[in-house]
Chains A and B, each alone.
Chain A
């Protein structure tokens, strides 16, 4: 099932910024996003993960725009200049919330259908929308396969070697973890970057460009809630109850899909893609990208952009 992509040289991170940003009220958020490419091109939503930001797509976005795509790269809730509209809204970080935000953004921008592409939280958002609103998804690019969380089985342990890289998730269950994240946003992020992408050489400027996005006033609350909800230890918001019921069934994804694993991913080790295969009911290809770590679009932008373009041309 697994295809190999060509080995690319370790990618020197670009120092440019994705600017200017646009902002739009969408659902409970004012979402900041970067846009590039022709307004009438096929739309690609590029979704970042934790603890990263839109600059995961600093090289992917111009590659896709140059090939005629309209590229939208939003800051997730809790990141960068994206803000909650209401001070009192709960800072939920559950998978339903992240998926709903993506839907709201597409609605607000009058985007009926798009290729949804992402990794980590952003890949999860893409999977959620692709599964619950299949008519909105032209195709899916997901790093690490099917990412909808099976919260009902969250208390089932995995092998100790696989639990170790999840230390931060256990840490965040404690108030100590909340205090630690609040006090050491950069320290924790940099540590995770190194653990998750052992082959990626990023410099201080590259790190700081993204770490600024974690100074968002809602970052700590959203992150902590996300990982507590992930284990069923924090309630979700009532407004997403219907989505949660849908997601609890681990719904299939019916759009054409390309899944990518990084051969050097230190938190979600590369697989042959068979584990989630039954969840993809249309054409699906799985690829292992040599050397790439968890932040795959920034580390291997060619492989990521190529997967998106294949879905658009198909």
Chain B
């Protein structure tokens, strides 16, 4: 095994254990098992607003302006308060933390009434880059779960120069749309009931409605 492979393994291990703020090259032991955290009732306020691409994005910011930037991206059906406890922990360790409301969520608005309300992965990823551009952030750690993790993956994959590192829940989240019609085990399909409910039933129904 080469040194570089070995270093990469340590990198992955460290990243997995230590999260965003500690160095990704840290050599940790097994992660301490934290006690269940009672959900904080505080609100992430005040919000800032910035025009970025097709959106006016509402976001929460915390931490020193000159700190390394971490962009924390929420998912569906959640909002920025997924990070209500993460944000201050990172800020306390010197990070500049940016927590935006995704398109369609909270105080974020489309700037034009005619803009298609797309929720596709490319749009979510483009919003991340547009926000970084609008705030003059060249590079950041991109971190997220669900839609937000997907936005992070998209931005990291297509604009690698903008990404210092990535934390993603559920791993590689870029959707393989070409294989979207390939079924999986029924027990996992059940969990996706809402995706089928929310799908374009009219179009989907017409696509295959002619009985063979």
Mutual binders A and B: yes
Q: Tell me the minimal C-beta distance from A227 to chain B in angstroms.
A: 9
Verify A170–B211 contact, CB threshold 8 A: no
Chain B residues contacting A92 (CB-CB under 8 Å) are: 211
Question: Which of A93, A178, A191 touches B187 (beta carbons < 8 Å)?
Answer: A191
Verify A176–B193 contact, CB threshold 8 A: no
A150 interfacial by beta-carbon distance below 8 Å: no
Label chain A's interface by main secondary structure. helix
Question: Which of A174, A232, A234 touches B199 (beta carbons < 8 Å)?
Answer: A174
Q: In the complex, which of the residues B192, B204, B207, B211 has the most CB atoms of chain A within 10 Å of its own CB atom? A: B211
Question: Which of A167, A174, A191 touches B181 (beta carbons < 8 Å)?
Answer: A174
Verify A175–B185 contact, CB threshold 8 A: no
Interface residues on B, range: 20 to 34
B42 interfacial by beta-carbon distance below 8 Å: no
Q: Once the chains are docked, how many angstroms separate the CA of A164 from the CA of B206? A: 23
Q: Once the chains are docked, how many angstroms separate the CA of A243 from the CA of B197? A: 29
Verify B193–A173 contact, CB threshold 8 A: no
Question: Which of A155, A164, A176, A225 touches B209 (beta carbons < 8 Å)?
Answer: A225
Q: Which 10 pairs show the lowest CB-CB distances between chains A and B?
A: A233-B205, A180-B183, A167-B193, A234-B209, A170-B196, A91-B211, A187-B186, A90-B211, A176-B181, A225-B211
Can you identify 14 A-B contacts, CB atoms within 8 angstroms? Answer: A93-B211, A171-B196, A173-B201, A174-B196, A175-B181, A175-B204, A176-B180, A179-B182, A179-B183, A187-B185, A222-B211, A225-B211, A233-B204, A233-B209
Identify the A interface with B (CB < 8 A).
90-93, 155, 163-164, 166-167, 170-171, 173-180, 183-184, 187-188, 191, 195, 221-222, 224-225, 228-229, 231-235
Identify the B interface with A (CB < 8 A).
180-187, 189-190, 192-193, 196-197, 199, 201-202, 204-212
